[in-house]
Amino acid sequence: MNKYISKIPARKLKTVLVVFCLLGGGFSIYLITHAIFGTDKKQVPIEVKQMNSPKHFDKTGSEINEPENYITDEMYREIQEYKHSMDSLGHPIRPGLMDSIKILEQIYHSHKIK
């Protein structure tokens, strides 16, 4: 970069710098005055919104095995019917759903043993 700029006369560089500063400064002044005195009041310049966080962000997952969490026989039957219908139709089960089904089956079987 220095190689190319060293060939340009100093007077021309100063002129380019002054023009750049005038354009940049003028545009900055325009933006500031438009933000303060502009007639477009439809949009609030700064708005603080509440952040959405997942409902169970502070849960570890060990709550699943608590005694009050159980799967009824009817719910287990519905899960098995869903799995069977998806297998027979040849439709793939969503990736995360199969993991959830396995966990529900484990909970059902763990409470059946007790």
In the predicted model, what is the mean pLDDT of residues 18-40?
Answer: 91
Q: How far apart are CA 110 and CA 67, in angstroms?
A: 10
Q: Which of 76, 73, 97 is nearest to 86 (CA)?
A: 97
- Name which of 6-15, 31-40, 72-81 the model is least confident about: 31-40
Confidence of residue 113 (pLDDT cuts 50, 70, 90): low
pLDDT at residue number 30: 94
